[in-house]
Every structure is written in structure tokens, then in C-alpha cells.
């Protein structure tokens, strides 16, 4: 993955934001606890999803799940913890003004010394996410150290309903996010090894026996391609595309292909692709949609997303043109869809999405 965007830390956007206080500092984070055994982990309660988190099928948007996960993770990483002097199994909480300013996985020290970028991320949703009788706010997060490599860190975050001990209601797992980040040297802007002190302290203590690596895959010739121009709302403070925007493009591209297929089957027009999507002639035709998709339907999508894997490879910036390619493997799973975001003919982000099979989410 290119780290060129890291050199833009001094951009005008970053300069504008550097003295501005984040409103997320007021996000209500409670029940913060640190546990050292069996694996280092943080437990905390966060606001969870919101009324804006649901799509027209009344399903939670994957982009909202991604953003909630990221903000909760950051809340866990920046809050100081009080250690238990190596006494396994003991819990500790953090209180304002305490002298010990160590943070989970020494995030403050690592982030001061290195940049990091996310290389791989996976979200697995439980059927309870699509049960509208199960509350999605607030939620409890369990953030567990996963695996420490030579230059990478993999972790696991689980999100649960709060439960109610007095009422005899157990916590219900809603979704799990497993991800891997890579350390980047602030001077060379290239991936680099983690410091020895960090590896000595954390290596071998996590809940995973290997790193979380998602390998790039080959994009086939027959795909449905939908172009997007990166807009201001798609970007973060450093002018590069927000990590959840790629999933937003993927979902919209899939629905565009399904719409074109549906309209074509109804024989509404001979040029449904252009009429429905506003694309140029030949860019996204009904024939392309038909040849790229093999079994996925709007009904399957409406069941809810069961799993998504994302591999981040390179960046794109505001004003740049990208294409989102969508396809399924002929003879493969009806519920599985492949995506690739392409800029200047090069894949910059790849995704796989699995939707729930029939009756699994009910």
C-alpha cells in the first residue's frame, strides 16, 4: 500500500483542523476497564448506532458499523489505563487526573513514533444485527490484542448488546471487527519494523496465532463497472478517501447493477444502463450487469450483510475518478459478491461481501 497520503499531514485541511477540538471527545464512553489476562483487552460501553444508521430495508448500514467500530476503537486506545503490576486476571479502571498515562497497546507512544495504515479489515455480523427487537444502542465493546508481527498489529473488537443482569438478559454478540495495521516510518513514509521494546512487551500475548492478512485477488474481464468522482463528503481531514467510503461505493454499485438487471428484465428500455445510472454509453449496460452477476438478488441483499472483507492498497483523493467493479463467480455462492475499486487502471481497494443465506438472519 502506498503511504503517499501520509506526506499530506501538513496540508491545508490538516492545518485547518489541528486546533479544532473534535466533537467526538464528548461521545459518552463508560464502563471502561482493562484486563491483562488471558489476553490484554479493554472493555467499555459506547453509544452504538444511531437513527441514521439504517438503510431503506431497515438494515444497519455497513458504513455506520465501520464508523462506530473505528470511533469506539479510538476511544479505547487514547484513554489512559491503570495497570495491575502484572497481577493476572485483575481489572483496572481509568480515572481523570491519574498519574499513570499509559494507554492500551502503548498507543500513545507508538502513534508518536510512527504513522500507521490499515491494510486489512473484516466485519462479521450476527443475525441479531438484523433483529429489530434487539437494541443497537448503546453497545459494549471488548477490544482484545490479537497478534504482534514484526511490522504489523492485528486486533479483534467484539460488540455486544448491553444486557441486563437484574432482568436476566444476557449480552448478545452483534458484530465482530478483526483488522490489521502496519507501522510506517514518519521520515521515509515506508512500512517499517515495530520497536523491540514493543515486541518484547506484547508479542505472544494476543488471542490470535497469526496476523490478519487478506491477499489481493485477480479482477476478471467481465465485471459491472460504475464510475464515481471522489467528492468532499467522501474524504477525511487529510483529503484522502475515508475508509468507509469504499464500502459505500461498493453497495451502491451492486444496487445499480441489480436495478439495471431488473429494468432490463422488464423491457422498459433498450438502453437501461445509461437511463438508470447517468453513465456514458457502454459504460454500464444491462448486458454487463447480466454477465457479471450470477444469482445475487435484491431479496438476498435485503436479508442483511453477513460478512465483509476489505483490503486497502492505495489511496484516492478528492476530485479523482474511480470505478467500482462488481462481479460474482459463475457457479459460485449466490450470496457472495466481489468488488474492486480501480483508479487509472489499478486496483486500489478490494472487497468481498457475503449476504445471509435464506432464513439465516431470521
Does residue 291 sit within a domain?
yes
Residue 89 pLDDT: 46
Q: What is the mean pLDDT of each run of 10 residues along the chain (362 residues)?
A: 34 54 85 96 97 97 98 96 53 47 94 94 98 96 99 98 84 98 94 97 97 97 96 90 97 96 64 41 66 95 98 96 97 97 98 92 50
Question: What pLDDT shows up at residue 92?
Answer: 55
Give the helix, strand, coil percentages of the chain, each rounded to 5. Answer: 25, 30, 45
Residues 166 and 280 in one domain: no
Q: Are 343 and 322 in contact (CB under 8 A)?
A: yes
Q: Per-residue b/e over 276-297, b at no fewer than 16 CB within 10 Å?
A: bbebeeebbbbebbbebbeebe
DSSP string, 161-179: E--BTTTTBPP-EEEEEEE
* Residues 15, 46 within the same domain: yes
Helix axis angle, 245-265 relative to 62-78, nearest 10°? Answer: 170
- On whether residue 216 sits in a domain, the answer given is no
pLDDT the model gives residue 157: 99
Q: Are 307 and 124 in contact (CB under 8 A)?
A: yes
- Tally the domains of the chain: 2
Number of other residues whose CB lies within 10 A of the CB of residue 336: 16
The confidence score (pLDDT) of residue 97 equals 42
The pairing of strands 305-312 and 114-125 is antiparallel
What's the start-to-end Cα distance of the chain, in Å? 39
Domain membership of residue 149 as a residue range:
4-202
Task: Please state the φ and ψ torsions of residue 87, each to the nearest 5 degrees.
Answer: -85, 105
Contact, 198 vs 116, CB < 8 A? no
Note whether 10 and 134 are same-domain residues: yes
**C-beta separation of 47 from 138 below 8 A:** yes
Q: CA 42, CA 172: separation in Å to the nearest integer? A: 18
Residues in the chain: 362
> If we measure between CA atoms, which residue out of 321, 323, 312, 318 comes closest to residue 348?
312
Query: Nearest Cα to 43, choosing from 31, 55, 56, 57?
Result: 31
360 within a domain of the structure (yes/no): no
Could you tell me if 90 and 195 lie in one domain? yes
Based on the fold, state whether residues 149 and 289 are members of the same structural domain.
no
CATH of the domain at 72: 3.10.129.10
Confirm whether 361 is domain-assigned.
no
Amino acid at each position: 500500500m502506498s503511504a503517499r497520503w501520509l506526506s499530506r499531514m501538513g496540508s491545508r485541511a490538516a492545518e485547518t483542523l489541528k486546533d479544532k477540538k473534535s466533537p467526538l471527545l464528548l461521545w459518552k464512553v463508560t464502563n471502561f476497564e482493562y484486563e491483562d489476562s488471558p489476553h490484554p483487552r479493554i472493555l467499555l460501553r459506547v453509544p452504538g448506532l444511531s437513527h441514521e444508521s439504517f438503510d431503506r430495508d431497515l438494515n444497519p448500514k455497513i458504513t455506520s458499523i465501520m464508523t462506530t467500530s473505528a470511533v469506539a476503537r479510538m476511544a479505547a486506545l487514547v484513554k489512559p489505563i491503570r495497570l495491575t503490576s502484572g497481577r493476572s486476571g485483575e481489572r483496572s479502571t481509568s480515572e481523570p487526573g491519574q498519574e499513570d498515562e499509559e494507554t492500551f497497546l502503548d498507543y500513545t507512544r507508538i502513534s508518536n513514533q510512527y504513522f500507521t495504515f490499515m491494510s486489512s479489515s473484516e466485519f462479521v455480523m450476527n443475525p441479531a444485527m438484523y433483529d429489530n427487537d434487539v437494541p443497537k444502542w448503546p453497545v459494549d465493546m471488548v477490544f482484545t490484542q490479537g497478534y504482534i508481527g514484526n511490522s504489523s498489529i492485528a486486533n479483534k473488537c467484539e460488540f455486544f448488546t448491553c444486557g441486563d443482569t437484574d432482568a436476566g438478559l444476557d449480552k448478545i454478540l452483534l458484530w465482530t471487527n478483526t483488522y490489521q495495521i502496519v507501522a510506517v516510518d514518519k521520515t521515509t513514509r515506508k512500512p517499517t519494523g515495530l520497536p523491540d521494546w514493543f515486541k518484547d512487551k506484547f508479542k505472544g500475548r494476543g488471542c490470535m496465532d497469526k496476523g490478519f492478512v487478506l491477499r489481493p485477488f485477480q479482477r476478471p474481464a467481465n465485471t459491472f463497472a460504475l464510475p464515481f468522482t471522489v467528492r468532499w463528503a467522501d474524504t477525511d481531514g487529510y483529503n484522502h478517501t475515508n475508509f468507509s467510503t469504499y464500502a459505500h461505493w461498493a453497495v451502491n454499485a451492486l444496487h445499480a447493477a441489480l436495478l439495471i438487471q431488473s429494468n432490463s428484465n422488464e423491457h422498459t428500455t433498450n438502453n437501461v444502463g445509461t437511463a438508470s445510472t447517468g453513465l456514458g454509453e457502454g459504460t454500464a449496460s444491462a448486458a454487463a450487469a447480466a454477465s457479471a452477476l450470477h444469482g445475487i438478488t435484491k431479496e438476498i441483499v435485503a436479508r442483511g450483510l453477513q460478512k465483509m472483507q476489505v483490503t486497502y492498497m492505495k489511496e484516492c483523493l478528492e476530485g479523482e475518478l474511480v470505478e467500482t467493479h462488481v462481479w460474482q463467480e459463475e457457479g459460485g455462492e449466490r450470496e457472495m459478491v466481489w468488488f474492486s475499486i480501480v483508479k487509472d487502471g489499478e486496483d486500489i481497494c478490494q472487497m468481498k461481501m457475503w449476504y445471509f443465506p435464506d432464513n439465516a438472519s431470521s
